[in-house]
Amino acid sequence: MVPLERALDPYDAWITGVRREETDARSDTKAVEWDPKRAMVKVNPIAGWTQEEVDAYIAEHGVVLNPLVDEGYPSIGCATCTLPVKPGADPRSGRWAGTGKTECGLHL
């Protein structure tokens, strides 16, 4: 997490793409909250969006996706702990596969 901490150092707030429906741990995410770990404001502008709303926004605005999404990686983490997801499986099931984790630690 050192690169993230270094990147955030000059700022008073940071913006994420965290959404409530992604995991149980994110279900009470607020649009704006205090991040005690970093002692700064954390802004989650799409916290209340559904996957359908994200997909519609991407289509409407021509958002460029990471090419790995088309290769079966709907949720991308680090190279050593992210696997492709089987069709119909939870989109985050490829993250930390086999570890029992649901979060990397950046957002908790």
Q: Which residues have a catalytic role annotated? A: 104
Considering Cα of 95, then 70, then 68, then 5, what sign does the dihedral take?
negative
Q: Which two tokens stand for residue 32?
A: 């704006």
Side-by-side strand order, sheet with 32-35 = 13-15, 40-43, 32-35
Cβ 23 vs Cβ 103: under 8 Å: yes
Burial of 79 (0-12, 13-18, 19+ CB in 10 A): exposed
